[in-house]
Amino acid sequence: MTFKAQEEKIMELFSRKIYNIPRNQRKYVWNENHWQELFDDVMIATQKGIESHFIGSVVLKTDGMINGLNRYLIIDGQQRCITITIFLTSIMFWMKKLGMDDDFNGTMQYIIAKDDKNKDVVMVTAENNASLENIIDAIVNLKDDTAKNTSVNAIVEKNTINKADKNIGKAFIFYMNAINDTYINNNYDKQLILKIRNTVRNISLISIIASTEEDSYTIFEILNARGSDLEDHELLKNYIMRYIQPEENRDKAKIEWNRMATMLGDSNINRFIRHYTNHRYGDYKSKTVTSYKTIQNNNKGKDTWDLLKDLERKAGFYTKLIAPCVNGEDANCSIEEYRVYSFFKKKRQEQVKPVLLSLITQFEEGNITKRTYEEAISFLYNYYVCYSIIGEESSNRLTDTLNKYAAKINRDGSEDTISRFKSELVNKLPTESVFKNSFRSIGWSHHNNIYEGEKNKTKVQIVLEILERYLNNGICYDEFTIEHVYDDSEGVNNGQIGNLLPLEEHLNKRCIGKSFAEKLVIYSESSFYTTRSFSKRFTEQQFNPEKRTEYLADLFYKSVLKNKFD
């Protein structure tokens, strides 16, 4: 491995060189805490006359020469390089507004390089943040007659290209306002602005320059091996690019990674990497070993192209879990998939995603039938309702089992493996007495405190839907109202689950003010099997809500849930 490392000041680093942050690097993510910390450090150094403030290291890769200017790719340190560029450009903004033209022109040499064709080139550019160059150009080219009337917000808003660059704009606004506030609070001392510029210009760092991409990735990994604010997906991306073979495939690999990252979105990619790790390796423990290290340990010495392709393929499957859609151009789910995955998304249920990813993989790759697949995901839906919603058990207790079988099903999606998975989960169900005691508390009412609220209503809707699907061969209409057989205003027990039925809204309205016998006639017209059966059963029998609650609890535990899974 060959590289050159040396201590430099910003005024030396930013001198007739150009730096590019490639698209495969992360976007600009520093926030006000980072900006404030750097500004405070600079002000302390300025006030105390400290010659230089040290900010760490940057990793660069040589990238040839363009019209007499050496070009480098920033592999690590892009957040600091962008921020210092914004800081210096913000200083230039106030120099221009305050008529400090000589200082403005003198500072420009740290922002703009002149190439051999006498063309001005912005020194630091970022492919993911095009507005950086746009705002710099606008400030550098400010005219004297317009500068005085140009506001901070206006110049940023006018030159921000897209929403993705919003944070770049915020950084400019922060530094321009911070400089102005400092200027005002120090009796409008122009010399203070010049002193701040000198402190920023004299910031020192270690520049580590590698001549090959592989060396730059190696250095990056070494520097970030011990405690870093980098996310797992960023470390994983570096690892994959480093070991892609042959080396000529790296540009293609960057395109593949970016396609995957765009598909998932910034808010989901790290979660996907974690769930992907569980799905493939199962025994991964997030508290002791990162998902990145687990993937790295399992791929040592291998060409990472296959890993990248597997990640990209599974990311496509994962979109079913984070953005399930059954209609339109973005449709990616069957009706049953949508029912299950939209439910888990709404409940923010994360533990089940690795095993769902394995089931999707086995189905999409043709290793299990549609029936086996949909029965398995329906099982997980019903199990979650039984275990967490009715039984009120913590789903965190299932994590080890879910991760273990996620990896097993990914390796072997046979019906035997899936059956053993179901059996192991069934053994973790609450005892019959505990389950039935929890079931008795289910209910919803407009009039009684213990059953009021959206949470109770949602629980009832879920239980009624599962009951209807069990009794009606998996069919349940999407929309229904909750019908109280006996008026819930007449007693607290009339809010319990045994007194509730699914019913179409127009039939529900017809039931208002009707007697029990009259309601039974209306129930017989319902499309819901549960409700029609109720009408038939209690036409000649006496109805007791408490007894029906006990009957439903027994039916759920022994038939709808437990026996169905055995």
| pLDDT, tens digit only, all 566 positions of the chain | 566 778 889 999 999 899 999 877 778 999 998 999 899 889 988 987 877 778 888 989 899 999 999 999 998 889 999 999 999 999 999 999 999 999 999 999 999 999 999 999 999 999 889 999 999 999 999 998 888 889 999 999 999 988 888 999 999 999 999 999 999 999 999 999 999 999 999 998 888 888 777 777 777 766 665 444 567 888 888 888 877 877 778 888 888 998 999 899 888 999 999 999 999 998 655 555 788 888 988 887 788 899 999 999 999 999 999 999 999 999 999 999 999 999 999 989 999 999 999 999 999 999 999 999 999 999 999 899 888 888 888 888 899 999 999 999 999 999 999 999 999 998 898 888 999 999 999 999 988 788 988 989 999 999 999 999 889 988 887 789 999 999 988 888 899 999 999 999 999 999 999 999 999 999 999 999 999 999 999 998 899 999 999 999 999 888 876 545 54
What's the angle, vertex CA 322, arms to CA 318 and CA 328, rounded to 5?
A: 95
Distance, in Å, from the CA atom of 482 to the CA atom of 464, rounded to the nearest integer, reads 9
Which of 219, 168, 153, 195 is closest to 47 using CA atoms?
Answer: 195
Cβ(232)–Cβ(290) below 8 Å: yes
- Torsional class of 67: left (φ above 0), alpha (ψ -120 to 50), beta (otherwise): left
Which of 269, 249, 274 is closest to 319 using CA atoms?
Answer: 269
Distance, in Å, from the CA atom of 124 to the CA atom of 134, rounded to the nearest integer, reads 12
- Torsional class of 227: left (φ above 0), alpha (ψ -120 to 50), beta (otherwise): left
Which of 417, 342, 423 is closest to 372 using CA atoms?
Answer: 417
User: What does each C-alpha distance from 387 to 323, 342, 551 come to in angstroms?
Assistant: 25, 18, 19
| Burial class of residue 566 (count of CB atoms within 10 Å of its CB; 0-12, 13-18, 19+) | exposed
Task: Supply the pLDDT for residue 1.
Answer: 52
Helix ranges, 148-204 (H): 152-159, 166-185, 190-201
Distance, in Å, from the CA atom of 115 to the CA atom of 261, rounded to the nearest integer, reads 35
Distance, in Å, from the CA atom of 489 to the CA atom of 379, rounded to the nearest integer, reads 36
Q: Residue 58 pairs with which residues in a beta bridge?
A: 207
Helix ranges, 62-130 (H): 78-97, 101-107
Q: Enter the DSSP assignment of 351.
A: T
Task: Supply the pLDDT for residue 141.
Answer: 94
The total number of residues written for the chain in this structure: 566
Task: Supply the pLDDT for residue 566.
Answer: 46
The reply to whether the predicted model has a pTM over 0.75 is no
User: What does each C-alpha distance from 17 to 37, 114, 209, 211, 560 come to in angstroms?
Assistant: 27, 9, 13, 16, 70
